[in-house]
Amino acid sequence: MKPKVLSILGSVTLTAAFGMISAHAASDPTSPAEDGTLGALSAVAGAAMMESHTYQYLEEVSDDIGARVTGSPEAAKAIAWGVQKMKSIGLENVHTESFQLFRGWKRISAEAEIVSPIRRRVMIDSLGWVGSTPPGGVEAQVIPVNLYRIDEELANSSEWRGKVLLTISRGTNAPGRFDRAIKFLTFIRAAQAAGAAAVIGGQSGVKAAGMHMTHTGVIGYDAAFDVPVVSMAPEDQDQIARFLDAGKTVRMKINVQNQFTSGPVESANVVGEVRGLQYPEQIIVVGGHLDSWDLASGATDNGCGTATTLGAAEAVVKSGKKPRRTIRFVLFTGEEQGLDGSRAYTKEHAAEMKNHVADVILDTGQGPVVRLQLGGHNDLVPAVQEFAKALEAFGTISVDDEPEFGTDTGPFILAGLPGINLNQDSPDYLYTHHSAVDTFDKVDAAVLDRNAAVMALTAFWIADRPERLAAPWPAAKTAQMLVDKRLDGFLQAFGLWPFGNPGSAEQQN
């Protein structure tokens, strides 16, 4: 358990925090000092920093429950825990909203060994929602596949049958994050169709060199593959690549065993509210995802988001202040399999999405919030910048309009809303997330409290402003924004694009 502290950053006292919030110039009508929200925000800030239970929530979900793969018994335990915590905090209308995940999956085992030109065991872990080798494993030749030149490689895919395919990334014009994901998905589909024995690649773009560790994750959104795909420790993968570069024939034994369910599995989002006083039908969704991967306990991904959501809810309730609009706190599940919980939410609440104002999500690990990303809504940047200036005691927080589709902001952006991502300065997150080191000890209590305060203040400010911050954009406007941001190709490749062709009749609806 953490020691009780009176500050959220080492040298920032409560007095200084309130002073910095209230000292922001009132000359701009969108500032908290001018729009009438300052007094309530100060009460929320104080409640967030005094006797916070945020770190305790993280310890419970990480250590006491542990890994929470969607559809697993541990995930069901986490859902029940989330309900109990929301009720104990004092939220209203606490309930679960069930949905089905297309298929359940369980990790069994994964092991591999180089048998030629040397004999040595190597470290692997399976990616999620992929298949198995035959019982007892296979021995096969290893051949390289360069993801930077995937079109050329696909022309030779007939040679992949029965082989272990080692992904490499070499050449100029390295693809960006979303292009890498598209190339990797294209490659895996081709490897399966060609009858490859296995694929060594892990999550594209993640390479924890010098740490001898692996990462898990899924390849597509709501996608399962029969071909076993594994992440290998970079040191082992690089040695195999050096053998191949030297013209040596490499053979491996690989044994991967996983288990799929025969059909869909049940999951649920956990929901609780602080009901608005003046416009209760207008809703601000605030949340993080409750599910995690299973190589460790999911503390940074996304125990932190779960804990900050509960900590933010607690701060609002303890403040005794009621906002004009409803704040709906949601712990999503199924995020790791393709934003399934947040997609289910926007589908279930489709009829009332016109009354939703925004979605606020934290899902980038253990670092402090340093940026509010507004999901493409550049028209909101000036107003939110004025709010961010009022949070100077929490550090510098910038504002931009970038859309984030790697977490539960995505479905709300597609629904035309500002999916607000609380972007964090978490350099270690590259290594901790989806890995065997994603454990409770990686998280600093003071930073976690700070983030819960920022989340609570952001949600309350949006909910309590005299004027509504935003209403859903028409589909055509959202689609054009995503085209302008060059995200349409990624969304189409992963089956998430709902608009038809830009400018088409379907898009106008």
Task: Tell me what pLDDT residue 181 has.
Answer: 86
- How many Å apart are CA 17 and CA 388, to the nearest integer? 13
pLDDT tens digits, 137-169: 999 999 999 999 999 999 999 999 999 999 998
Quick one: 387 and 423 in the same domain? Answer: yes
Judged against a pLDDT cut of 90, whether residue 236 lies above it is answered with: yes
Mean pLDDT throughout 224-236?
95
**Would you state the pLDDT for residue 176?**
78
Alpha-carbon distance 496 to 316, whole Å? 34
Please indicate, yes or no, if residue 501 is contained in any of the structural domains. no
Tell whether 279 is covered by a domain.
yes
CA dist list (Å): 73 to 53, 69, 158, 292: 25, 9, 41, 13
3-class SS of residue 100: strand
316 pLDDT tier (thresholds 50, 70, 90): very high
Residues 178 and 128 in one domain: yes
Q: What angle do CA 495, 499, 154 make, to 5 degrees?
A: 35
Pair (57, 201) in one structural domain: no
Q: Is residue 353 part of a domain?
A: yes
Q: Are residues 408 and 477 in the same domain?
A: yes
- 28 has pLDDT over 80: no
8 belongs to a structural domain: no
Please give the C-alpha separations between residue 265 and each of 34, 105, 332, 420, in angstroms, as whole numbers. 50, 9, 15, 30
Residue 454 is assigned to a structural domain of this protein = yes
Query: pLDDT class for 134, splitting at 50, 70, 90?
Result: very high
More confident residue, 419 or 234: 419
Residue 426, phi-psi category: left (phi > 0), alpha (psi -120 to 50), beta (remainder): beta
Give the angle subtended at the CA of 352 by the CAs of 348 and 356, to the nearest 5°. 110
pLDDT for 502 equals: 53
Asked if residue 135 and residue 44 are part of one domain, the reply reads no
User: Across 194-203, 204-213, 284-293, which has the greatest mean pLDDT?
Assistant: 284-293
| 3-state secondary structure at position 445 | helix
Q: Please report whether residue 12 resides in a domain.
A: no
pLDDT band at 212 (very low <50, low <70, confident <90, very high): confident
State CA 211 to chain mean position distance: 23
Closest CA to 105 of 240, 202, 193, 223: 223
Separation between Cα atoms, residue 145 and residue 138, nearest integer Å: 20
Residues 110 and 248 occupy one common structural domain: yes
**Which residues sit opposite 331 in a β-bridge?**
270, 288
Residue 424 is inside which H or E element, if any? strand 419-424
pLDDT number for residue 209: 59
What is the distance of C-alpha 150 from the center of its chain?
27
Q: What sections of 9-142 are H helices per DSSP?
A: 14-23, 32-35, 38-49, 54-59, 73-89
- For the chain, how many structural domains are there in total? 2
Q: Which two tokens stand for residue 299?
A: 């503390």
Q: Tell which of 237, 260, 283 closes a domain.
A: 260
Question: Is 208 found in the same domain as 184?
Answer: yes
Same domain, 165 and 70: no
Are 295 and 400 found together in one domain? Answer: yes
Query: Which among 209, 231, 260 is the end of a domain?
Result: 260
CATH number of the domain that residue 217 is part of: 3.50.30.30
Q: What is the pLDDT of residue 171?
A: 84
Could you tell me if 272 and 244 lie in one domain?
Answer: no
Tokens of 283: 């809703």
70 falls within a domain: yes
* pLDDT tier, 174 (very low <50, low <70, confident <90, very high otherwise): confident
Give 412-458 pLDDT, tens digit per residue: 999 999 999 999 999 998 889 999 999 999 999 999 999 999 999 99
Return the H-helix or E-strand segment holding 107: strand 105-116
pTM of the model: 0.92
CATH of the domain at 93: 3.40.630.10
When pLDDT is averaged across residues 474-496 and rounded to a whole number, the result is 95
Q: Going by DSSP bridges, is the β-strand pair 419-424/92-101 parallel, antiparallel, or unpaired?
A: unpaired
Which of 16-30, 180-194, 446-460 bottoms out in mean pLDDT, i.e. has the lowest? 16-30
Per-residue pLDDT, averaged over 89-110, amounts to: 98
- The letter for the amino acid at 38 is L
Q: What is the mean pLDDT of residues 8-19?
A: 38
CA–chain centroid gap for 83, Å, is 21
Instruction: Say if residue 248 is in the same domain as residue 332.
Output: no
Instruction: Please indicate, yes or no, if residue 5 is contained in any of the structural domains.
Output: no
Residue 25 has pLDDT above 50, yes or no: no
Q: Which residues pair with 225 in a beta bridge?
A: 130
**218 pLDDT higher than 90:** yes
- Say how far apart CA 284 and CA 417 lie, in whole Å: 10
Q: Where are the alpha helices (DSSP H) in 256-380?
A: 304-319, 340-348
pLDDT digits (tens, 9 = 90+) for 347-391: 999 999 999 999 999 999 999 999 999 999 999 999 999 999 999
Query: What's the first-to-final CA gap in the chain, in angstroms?
Result: 52
Domain hosting 64: range is 32-102+264-489
pLDDT of residue 422: 98
Q: Are residues 139 and 201 in the same domain?
A: yes
Q: What would the two tokens of residue 394 be?
A: 């929490």
Q: What is the pLDDT of residue 282?
A: 98
Residue range 317-345: average pLDDT? 98
Q: Which of 41-55, 199-213, 274-288 has the lowest mean pLDDT?
A: 199-213
DSSP line for 113-148: EEEESS-EEE-EEEPTTB--PSTT-EEEEEEEEEGG
Q: Whose CA is closest to 435, among 294, 338, 302?
A: 294
